[in-house]
Homo-oligomer: A and B are copies of this chain.
Amino acid sequence: MDVSEAIRKRRSIRKYQARKVENDKIERVLEAGRLAPSAKNLQEWRFIVVRDDGRRRRLAEAAKGQTFVGEAPVVIAACATMTDYVMTCGQLTYPINLAIAVEHMVLQAVAEGLGTCWIGAFYEEEVKKVLNIPPEVRAVALLPLGYPDESPVSSPRKKMEEIIAFETWK
């Protein structure tokens, strides 16, 4: 699927079919993340692929009871293994590097006919407990992955002229 088509078709999916996701599809989604660029090529990421029923249910509870998180047959937890590197511009690398890698997965998932939903509404300490994540590691995002069981319309977007400027701020 074309990049622009995947970008246009992508939706945040909050209802999933029970249908299992094929291993080769999961592998291509993970590979898309693996190939992401990262500042200083740090690749300070680790992705935990969760398929166990009970564990997914506990992740859904940690995600403030958003049950759809556990209904997806796969949940990927995106973790940052190095959390103190700051770029000259003043930004920490890890949230940006991880976001790039996870969005690669999101777009590859669309190309595979799969749905995802970025989840930031979760209690990090609960998630770390469920997945045995070491104290120094940050759990940055959860990404349910599965066949969509809904076709939501796109959230409204700002108009181009609201978000683009030419040459200077105004």
A139 within 8 A of B: yes
Complex alpha-carbon distance, A90 and B126, angstroms: 12
Please encode chain A, from 21 to 40, with 1 for each CB lying within 8 Å of some chain B CB and 0 for all others.
Answer: 00000001011111111010
Taking a contact as CB atoms under 8 Å apart, the answer to whether B169 and A3 are in contact is no
Q: A99's contact among B10, B103, B122, B123, by CB below 8 Å, is which?
A: B103
- A43 cross-chain contacts in B, Cβ below 8 A: 157-158, 163
Residues of A78-124 contacting chain B, CB below 8 A: 79, 87-93, 95-100, 103-104, 106-108, 110-111, 118, 120-124
- A2 cross-chain contacts in B, Cβ below 8 A: 1-3, 111
CB nearest neighbor in B for A120: B87
Complex alpha-carbon distance, A116 and B79, angstroms: 26
* With known contacts A31-B160, A34-B163, A39-B118, A169–B1 Cβ distance under 8 A: no
